[in-house]
Amino acid sequence: MSTVSPATQSAMVPQRWRIAGLTRELPEPAVFTWELEPLDGDAMTYLPGQFNMVYQHGLGEVPISISGDADSGPLVHTIRAAGAVTRRMAALSAGDVIGVRGPYGSAWPVAQAQGRDLVIVAGGIGLAPLRPVIYHAARFRDRFRRVVILYGTRRPGDILYRGELEAWSGRLDLDVAVTVDRSAPGWYGDVGVVTRLIDRGGFDPEQSVAMLCGPEVMMRFAATALRRQGMPETAIWLSMERNMHCAVGFCGHCQLGPYFICRDGPVFRLDRIEPYMGVREL
């Protein structure tokens, strides 16, 4: 008979957190950001790229990447109302209490990027898991060479963290480019997929570390564009999504080839995960 260790049992129990701040980021589908404060213990220590299981009492749990500043400030989650649980979460207000367990998973290789060009490629809501890296790079700017932030999304109205993107764009030591797949009246920025921004270069591909997050198809195309620029696949990292349930490599729902995305990921180096990306049977 198999048994569940006390450590695993503990890892499965959510702690209570209060929604201290709520920002409505985008309308349909709703994207919102929570700033959370702990009710049952201390503030959470985590690494950029990690995720939490966020629990709405009586309804269910969802894996959500942490999108705040890992070096200071509250625990922050940006959530898109995409399913039954997250749609209900979108109806919560500041002061409501939710459950959180974590942090889980692997982190972005921030230390490995030091002394190199840092290339961040984000698509859609994929900017949220990368925002902790941007905060870190902006705060410790002298630890990196060029910091390039390439962001693509569907339409101008879908640009996430627009105010922060404008602020980062205004800094002389960050290279920020934003593009949309479909233009709209009044949009004066770039039009085209985010991989087209990679084609324009602006970084040293042999002395860079790239971090990608967005729809898997987008990341595959982005990785191809980065390799075309001459970046080795060992310098390309991406954050994978799968159907994560337990978050501790126990249930097997998020298995992809030899990996459990929740335990071995979600951040993977490209050469390790690429053989399993796009495999229909997986």
Partner 1 sequence: MSLRDTIAAVPFFQGLPDAHLDALAGCAREARFADGEALLREGEGADQFYLLREGIVRLVMHWPHRGELTLETLGTGEVLGWSWIAPPYRWHFDAIARGGVRAIAFDARCLRGEMTSDPAFGYEMMSRFAAVISHRLQAARMQMMDVYAPPGGEEAP
Could you list the residues that contact partner 1 (CB under 8 A)?
A: 29, 51, 60, 62-65, 67, 78-80, 82-86, 123-126, 128-129, 152-154, 158, 179, 181-183, 185, 187-193, 195-196, 199-201, 214-215, 217-218, 221, 224-225, 228, 241, 243-244, 266
Taking the least distance from each CB to partner 1, the nearer of 19 and 50 is 50
Residue 255 DSSP class? E
Burial status of residue 110 (CB atoms within 10 A of its CB: 0-12, 13-18, 19 or more)? buried
Of 47 and 112, which has the nearer Cβ to partner 1? 47
Q: In terms of DSSP bridges, do strands 236-239 and 255-256 run parallel, antiparallel, or are they unpaired?
A: unpaired
CB of 18 to partner 1, least distance (A): 22
Shorter beta-carbon distance to partner 1: residue 139 or 200: 200
Nearer to partner 1, 143 or 187 (CB): 187
Rounded Cα gap, residues 242 and 244, in angstroms = 6
**Taking the complex as a whole, how short is the minimal distance between the CB of residue 115 and partner 1, in angstroms?**
25
Nearer to partner 1, 112 or 202 (CB): 202
Residues with Cβ within 8 Å of 3's Cβ and at least 6 positions away in sequence, in order, are: none
- DSSP line for 64-101: EEB-S-TTSS-EEEEEE--SHHHHHHTT--TT-EEEEE
**4 vs 184 by CB, closer to partner 1:** 184
Neighbours of 168 (CB within 10 A): 20
Minimal distance, residue 200 CB to partner 1, in Å: 5
Smallest distance, Å, CB 225 to partner 1?
8
**CA 121 from centroid of its chain's CA atoms:** 11
Q: Min. distance of Cβ 196 from partner 1 in angstroms? A: 5
For partner 1, give the closer residue by CB, 216 or 274: 216
Q: How far is the CB of 114 from partner 1 (least distance, A)?
A: 26
Q: Please tell me whether residue 273 adopts helix, strand or coil conformation.
A: helix
Encoding tokens for residue 95? Answer: 């002061």
Q: How far apart are CA 254 and CA 215, in angstroms?
A: 16
Q: 60 - beta bridge partners? A: 56
Return the H-helix or E-strand segment holding 132: helix 127-139
For residue 67, the minimal CB distance to partner 1 (Å) is 8
